[in-house]
Amino acid sequence: MTAIAPIIVGKEAIAELLAYCQQHNLRDLVLVADRNTYAALGERVERALREQGYAPVTILLEGEEVIADEATCINVLVRAPARPQTYLAVGSGTITDIVRFVSHRSRNPFLSLPTAPSVDGYTSNGAPLVLGGVKITVDAQPPQAIFADLPTLQAAPEPLIAAGFGDLLGKTTSVADWRLGALLWGEDYDEAIAARTERAYRECLRHVEAIRRREEAGIRALIEGLIESGLCILDFGRSHPASGSEHHASHYWEMTLLQQGRPAILHGAKVGVASRHIAGYYARLRSISRQEAFARIERASRPDPEAEIAAIREAYGPLAETIIRGHGEFLQLSEAAFVDLKRRVIERWDAVQEIAAEVLPPDEIARLLSAVGGPVNGQQLGLVEEEVQRGLHYGHYLRSRFTITKMFHLFGLGE
């Protein structure tokens, strides 16, 4: 396991941060926040540091909506001193991703100070950035330590808490997709990490009412579940444990909103809604009889590469060439390889059904999301039904992964 230490979740997080800085002789500090996260926690952290004789450089990112894109990363790099230093990421997902990338590229460490239990990316070594309009996860680094102030997390806006819950709930489909890819496509897999990810989200489900009420036990369970999910990504080295079809649909929706200049939607809110739809695919898989499944798979034809490329161009417009380059493994699938894949699905059908049986039912996901005040459908996200369906239909092209959506696409199981 990768060492991030300490990981503090409690009421003395700021005091623990000060002790850590003193213990490790950290003097040159750069605090990065936006207006909201500075008001929620950053100002208190800055004041506490100054009272102890520190002189942190504070970079306050302006604007109603901060995006982890090229311009923002360059903004932070330009405003930070050109010296060895330690960054303090005071914020949730976007701020953390910006800082993890900037600190990595400038060869400096960073510490994470979450302001909301809204994402599982606090411990990740990958930064999901919007580069050229495409959501791409690039190599970065995890924090050296995490200091999560529990009262700040409890006071986070309800949509952020619900988003964190939605992100964690999405592991019901991401783990299933990972197992499906390992079983049928030979993707790298680690059962111990998959089991850890499952335990993280299932433990959180035991605290749904406490999360809704912002009780200490509930918010602690949520942030610890999110942190553990992130540690699973870190230990595996890729996002497979925590990101499957539900994230691919979410990324497609996000890219659509960016291209159209529409307001962003919280990552976890999109993931929660997408996971409900993807769970519906798994429910559909469970309902297909062995006889029907085999008949559909046997008569399925290898997708025509030119038709696939045309579909990607229609779905992604000016971003299509980037998507096409990253999807070569499936676009170049030979007839022999496709026949072999069909054989594996048929031979391992019982194992496929076992994977599907572990996924929460879509109605249960909707109930849980609603219980914590989160959206359950595209309309509540501000998406029209056509946009929802396009994300579900075209999202799988974003990653060269074998998932439930890829399986349905190749064999027409959803028709």
Residue-wise pLDDT for 128-176, tens only, equals 898 888 888 899 999 999 999 999 999 999 999 999 999 999 999 999 9
Whole-angstrom distance, CA of residue 180 vs CA of residue 198: 15
Whole-angstrom distance, CA of residue 74 vs CA of residue 76: 5
Whether the predicted pLDDT of 198 surpasses 90: yes
What is the per-residue pLDDT for 121? 87
Q: Phi and psi for 147 in degrees, rounded to 5? A: -130, 95
Per-residue pLDDT band for 415 (boundaries 50, 70, 90) equals low
Whether the predicted pLDDT of 276 surpasses 60: yes
Per-residue pLDDT band for 195 (boundaries 50, 70, 90) equals very high
* Percent of the chain residues past pLDDT 90, beyond the cut: 90
10 Å Cβ neighbour count for 385?
10
Whole-angstrom distance, CA of residue 220 vs CA of residue 233: 20
- The two tokens of residue 78 are 């330009």
**pTM score of the predicted model:** 0.93
Q: Phi and psi for 110 in degrees, rounded to 5? A: -145, 155
Whether the predicted pLDDT of 413 surpasses 90: no
DSSP character at residue 223: H
DSSP string, 283-315: HHHHHS-HHHHHHHHHH--PPPHHHHHHHHHHH
Whole-angstrom distance, CA of residue 72 vs CA of residue 76: 6
Whether the predicted pLDDT of 181 surpasses 80: yes
DSSP string, 129-198: EEETTEEEEEE----SEEEEEHHHHHTS-HHHHHHHHHHHHTHHHHHHHHHHHHHHH-----HHHHHHHH
Query: If you compute the radius of gyration of the chain from its CA atoms, what whole number of angstroms results?
Result: 22
Whether the predicted pLDDT of 337 surpasses 70: yes
Domains and their CATH numbers in the chain: 7-154 (3.40.50.1970), 161-411 (1.20.1090.10)
What is the per-residue pLDDT for 2? 57
Per-residue pLDDT band for 188 (boundaries 50, 70, 90) equals very high
The pLDDT mean for the chain works out to 95
- The two tokens of residue 328 are 């070569």
Whether the predicted pLDDT of 1 surpasses 70: no
